[in-house]
């Protein structure tokens, strides 16, 4: 009879261990960083030399904020200043803004959600990045205000050029 009593105790001990393991796994999962993956795991961290993707994410965030402000203000000159001269991507962006303005519409609140970012290559004045992002939160103003649908995630190769002390978009493909 003693062996028979040991079986329920063993089952209870196993169930408690499984439950504790599940709680631990859940707590670890809840404390994971929800930020986008912006660096390769093989890149060693360094206080003196941050991962290039961290710097690139900051550059892109500032650039995207400037672009959103230009769109919100309907400022074609400001939008064009974010691109290198002759940039096809810049000409397309400016043409699109002009079409909206010609229709009496303004787009407010554009926000770019960065989902993934990898440095492809970099030189002193050229930075090539693989960027996965999407536009969210845009609102069309003029007539009846309406929210723009969120963009689907898209991966593009973005080439930045350093002009003076500013990174400008040269190409997007």
User: Which sequence spans correspond to the domains of the chain?
Assistant: 52-172
The arithmetic mean of pLDDT across residues 40-45, rounded, is 50
CA dist list (Å): 21 to 14, 15, 72, 114? 10, 10, 50, 33
User: What pLDDT is attached to residue 48?
Assistant: 65
Over residues 139-173, the pLDDT tens digits come to: 999 988 999 999 999 999 999 999 999 999 999 99
Over residues 14-33, the pLDDT tens digits come to: 433 333 333 333 333 333 33
- Going by pLDDT thresholds of 50, 70 and 90, the confidence category of residue 51 is confident
Domain 52-172 has CATH 1.10.10.10: no
As beta bridge partners, residue 141 has 106
Rounded to the nearest 5°, which phi and psi values hold at 124?
Answer: -60, -35
Q: Mutual orientation of helices 52-73 and 88-102 as an angle, nearest 10°?
A: 30
Q: Whole-model pTM?
A: 0.72
How far is 114 from 96, CA to CA, in rounded Å? 22
């Amino acid at each position: 009879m003693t062996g028979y009593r040991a079986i329920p105790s063993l089952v209870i001990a196993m169930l408690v261990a499984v439950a504790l393991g599940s709680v631990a796994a859940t707590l670890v999962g809840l404390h994971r960083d929800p930020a986008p993956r912006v660096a390769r795991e093989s890149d060693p961290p360094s206080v003196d030399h941050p991962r290039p993707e961290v710097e690139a994410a900051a550059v892109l965030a500032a650039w995207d904020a400037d672009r959103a402000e230009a769109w919100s203000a309907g400022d074609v000159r400001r939008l064009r200043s974010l691109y290198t001269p002759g940039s096809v991507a810049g000409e397309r962006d400016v043409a699109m803004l002009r079409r909206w303005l010609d229709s009496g519409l303004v787009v407010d609140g554009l926000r770019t959600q960065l989902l993934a970012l990898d440095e492809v290559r970099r030189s002193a004045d050229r930075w090539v990045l693989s960027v996965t992002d999407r536009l969210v939160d845009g609102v069309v103003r003029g007539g009846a205000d309406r929210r723009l649908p969120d963009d689907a995630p898209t991966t593009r190769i973005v080439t930045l050029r350093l002009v003076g002390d500013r990174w400008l978009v040269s190409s997007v493909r």
